[in-house]
Amino acid sequence: MPQQPEVPLDGLYGDLVMDHYRHPHNRALISEADIEAEEFNPFCGDRAALQIKLDGQGKVCNVSARSEGCSIIQAATSMLSDMLPGKSLCELTAIAERFRASMYNGTGDDTEGLGDLLALQVVRRYPVRIKCALLPLVALEEGIKAYHSKAG
């Protein structure tokens, strides 16, 4: 396995990443999820699995987010899971786009709706690790896509 550069996790953002890594949120499995998606990155053995339950209005009412691998994927999965409840799939797609753009281009002033995900800006200086931060996002997007094609 190729050597992955270590991302120094100190400072305000680093502390937040470590906090989610040590105490990941929303790990309990859901029994009847509307959306289920899993992504794997063989490059560093990262895995992210999401389950989403929608309410009658099409908004997220329950989330399960589980991951294994490096600290970045585990923190990113937990942070993303906190963003989902109460949002429609359209809103989630918009957040996903904004988060991906922020990882490649920086946020500028456009930080709306990113919450703790902003802390992953510490990863930006290590381009190969950006994949780790974005893996749960890819799972989310694939899950939404599959849900739409199933719903027609």
The footprint of Zn ion (CB under 5 A) covers 44, 46, 69-70, 73, 132
Least Å from the CB of residue 131 to Zn ion: 7
Paired sense of beta strands 46-54 and 60-68, if any: antiparallel
Least Å from the CB of residue 129 to Zn ion: 6
Cβ nearer to Zn ion, comparing 46 with 116: 46
Q: Name the phi and psi angles at 137, rounded to 5.
A: -65, -40
Residue 53 tokens read as 């339950």
Cβ nearer to Zn ion, comparing 62 with 74: 74
Q: What is the CA radius of gyration of the chain?
A: 15
Cβ nearer to Zn ion, comparing 2 with 108: 2
Least Å from the CB of residue 123 to Zn ion: 10
Which of these, 6, 45, 148, lies nearest to 90 by C-alpha position? 148
Residue owning tokens 């680093």: 14
Least Å from the CB of residue 74 to Zn ion: 9
Cβ nearer to Zn ion, comparing 37 with 73: 73
Least Å from the CB of residue 140 to Zn ion: 17
Cβ nearer to Zn ion, comparing 52 with 76: 76
Under the phi-then-psi rule, with left for phi > 0, alpha for psi from -120 to 50, and beta for the rest, what region is 115?
Answer: left
Give me the residue whose beta carbon is nearest to Zn ion. Answer: 132
Which helix H or strand E contains 149, and what residues bound it?
helix 127-151
